[in-house]
Structure 1
Amino acid sequence: MAYEPTAGELVHLNRCVELATEALDAGDEPFGTVLVAGSGEALFEDRNRTADGDQTRHPEFEAARWAAAHLTPEERAAATVFTSGEHCPMCSAAHGWVGLGRIVYVHSSAQLGAWRAELGVEPGPVAAIPVQEVVPGLPVDGPVASLEAAMRDLHTRAVSAG
């Protein structure tokens, strides 16, 4: 079931789509993430940076590293990670180990897998496991129907460019 974000959440989610676009324009896969404090202030943002061959340079993982270095455990727990796509298992684990709070994503890993299959792309080397199976009890909201088409278009462009 789709999640309806608040107006404030939509600002952060739109920024995630912008970051995903920046990533694609730079030759990376289209993913973007914004880490937001419990107060609503954006603290950190990044985009995918895997074009050099290091497939661990996901923005969700970088947000977890940044949070571990800059936030108290209480601040991390109160934070929300907004992201263009549901975390992969690596990023979910980093999120859980660092103790970050809620996740809000535009599209799920299952949706991305279906889109890529429709485009004839083989599945990646890591299983698409839902965040809540990796980090039980974590509050997670998504997908966000109003932004799904934009992300599907970016992923279609990524396959066409690759």
Structure 2
Amino acid sequence: MTTHQEFMREAVRLAAANRDRGARPFGAVLVLDGEAVATGVNDIVHSHDPTTHAEMEAVRAAARKLGRPDLRGSVVYASGHPCPMCLAAMTMAGVQAVYYAFDNHDAAPYGMSSEAAYQALRLSLNPPPLPLTRVAVDLSAAQLYGPRAPRG
């Protein structure tokens, strides 16, 4: 069985790899019964689809893999704090908790915060609609969200 920290490391690894391929630095892992069922990365840059956030892609992939839209009992590990769209989709799918590495404050200096969407929708995260827990990772926000290092 993979540990809590390993699932988070995988979400951040997916995000960093996605950034390295020229996409937005977001990754997610959907876990059910202690096993990774599906992963997702933000594909907006390549798909031109504004709904292809990492969490949405993981939820979609898990529902397809399991053959059902009901993901009750699952947990999502996300590299960044989920936006309102992703949080709503996870809530509607039955995800029971979300763990994330970087919050909107960390992402804001890099133009990666979803706080404006929460404000525009007048949504409050106090209290959140499902448990949201920040998990420490061995990477800084600048390393993930900042400019990519040139390839040598």
CA distance in 2, matches of 1:81, 1:20: 14
Partner of 1:127: helix, strand, or coil?
helix
**2:58 aligned with 1:63:** yes
User: Which of 124, 138, 148 is residue 147 of structure 1 equivalent to?
Assistant: 138
Q: CA RMSD of the aligned region, Å?
A: 3.0
For residue 22 of structure 1, report the CA deviation from its aligned partner: 1.4
Given the superposition, is the C-alpha separation of residues 73 and 135 from structure 1 closer, same or farther in structure 2, using an over 3 Å criterion?
A: farther
1:46 match: 40
User: Which of 83, 95, 104 is residue 90 of structure 2 equivalent to?
Assistant: 95
For residue 137 of structure 1, report the CA deviation from its aligned partner: 3.8
**Which of 1 and 2 has higher RCO (CA within 8 Å, sep 6+)?**
1
User: Which of 23, 30, 42 is residue 28 of structure 1 equivalent to?
Assistant: 23
Higher helix fraction: Structure 1 or Structure 2? 1
- How many residue pairs get matched? 143
For residue 123 of structure 1, report the CA deviation from its aligned partner: 6.9
CA distance in 2, matches of 1:102, 1:124: 19
For residue 125 of structure 1, report the CA deviation from its aligned partner: 9.8
**2:144 aligned with 1:157:** no
Q: Is the 8 A contact 1:16 1:34 kept in 2?
A: yes
Partner of 1:146: helix, strand, or coil?
coil
For residue 72 of structure 1, report the CA deviation from its aligned partner: 5.7
CA distance in 1, matches of 2:31, 2:9: 13
CA distance in 1, matches of 2:58, 2:11: 13
User: Which of 117, 125, 138 is residue 130 of structure 2 equivalent to?
Assistant: 138
CA distance in 2, matches of 1:44, 1:122: 23
Letter of the 2:138 counterpart: L
Percent pairwise identity? 30
1:4 match: none
Given the superposition, is the C-alpha separation of residues 97 and 153 from structure 1 closer, same or farther in structure 2, using an over 3 Å criterion?
A: same
Given the superposition, is the C-alpha separation of residues 22 and 123 from structure 1 closer, same or farther in structure 2, using an over 3 Å criterion?
A: closer
Partner of 2:40: helix, strand, or coil?
strand
For residue 99 of structure 1, report the CA deviation from its aligned partner: 1.4
For residue 111 of structure 1, report the CA deviation from its aligned partner: 2.2
Letter of the 2:39 counterpart: E
CA distance in 1, matches of 2:73, 2:145: 31
Given the superposition, is the C-alpha separation of residues 124 and 135 from structure 1 closer, same or farther in structure 2, using an over 3 Å criterion?
A: closer
Q: Is the 8 A contact 2:107 2:113 kept in 1?
A: no
Q: Which segments of 5 or more consecutive residues in structure 2 lack a partner in the other structure?
A: none
Deviations 1:79-129 (A, max 9, x none): 11001001011111111111111100001123211x32xxxx597795246
